[in-house]
Amino acid sequence: MNWVIDTNILIFASNVNEEKYFNAVEFVLDVRKNHSIVIDHKREIVKEYNKKLKNNPFYKKWWKHMISTKGKIAFHDSKIPSYHKNKLENLKFHNDDLLFVGVASNSCDKLLVTEDKDDYNKNIRYYLKQNLDINVYFLDNLPN
């Protein structure tokens, strides 16, 4: 599976004091071993990861493995049609997360994992699934 990973998942996996630490570590290590990640062509997602995690040893090791292993990173466009962007904004979706939604909408598997349950509330998740075929998961409801 190809996953779009919201930055908060990597933050949780990189901080033993986070409540979701173990679930996040388990997920990112599973991705490292069995799956791949999806990022945008301009690498804006990577810039965000690095901005928030650049000095974290866990993130550095995980990222080094991902970039040095063939087939672990897929690149896709991050653009979404303006109609969907406007609709999401009307639903009070945060602009910061449009990058992740855009990449997920253009990826093969259309899988996005986050722990931002406010931004990805029930109405947003329904809209994303019905209109862009994106499956949004949280750490406590990942597919098997």
DSSP string across 83-135:
HHHHHHHHTT--GGGHHHHHHHHHSSS-EEE---TTTT-HHHHHHHHHHH-PE
Helix, strand and coil percent figures for the chain, each rounded to 5: 55, 15, 35
Instruction: Identify the band that residue 144 occupies on the pLDDT scale cut at 50, 70 and 90.
Output: confident
Whole-angstrom Cα distance, residue 79 to residue 58? 30
Percentage of residues in the chain with pLDDT exceeding 70?
100
Mean pLDDT of 109-131: 97
Question: Which residue has tokens 């722990």?
Answer: 115
Return the residue matching tokens 């990597």: 10
For residues 20 and 23, give the distance between their C-alpha atoms in angstroms, rounded to a whole number: 5
Residue 128 pLDDT > 80, yes or no?
A: yes
Residue 38, SS3?
A: strand
pLDDT, tens digit (0-9, with 9 covering 90-100), for 17-70: 999 999 999 999 999 999 999 999 999 999 999 999 989 999 999 999 999 999
With bands split at pLDDT 50, 70 and 90, how would you rate the model's confidence at 135?
A: very high
Global model pTM greater than 0.85: yes
Contacts 24+ apart (CB under 8 A), 117-120: 119/93, 119/94
CATH H-level superfamily of 2-141: 5'-nuclease (3.40.50.1010)
Per-chain mean pLDDT for the chain: 96
Lowest mean pLDDT among 53-57, 104-108, 110-114: 53-57
**From its phi and psi, is residue 39 left (phi > 0), alpha (psi between -120 and 50) or beta?**
beta
The whole-number pLDDT of residue 83 equals 96
The mean pLDDT value for 69-92 works out to 96
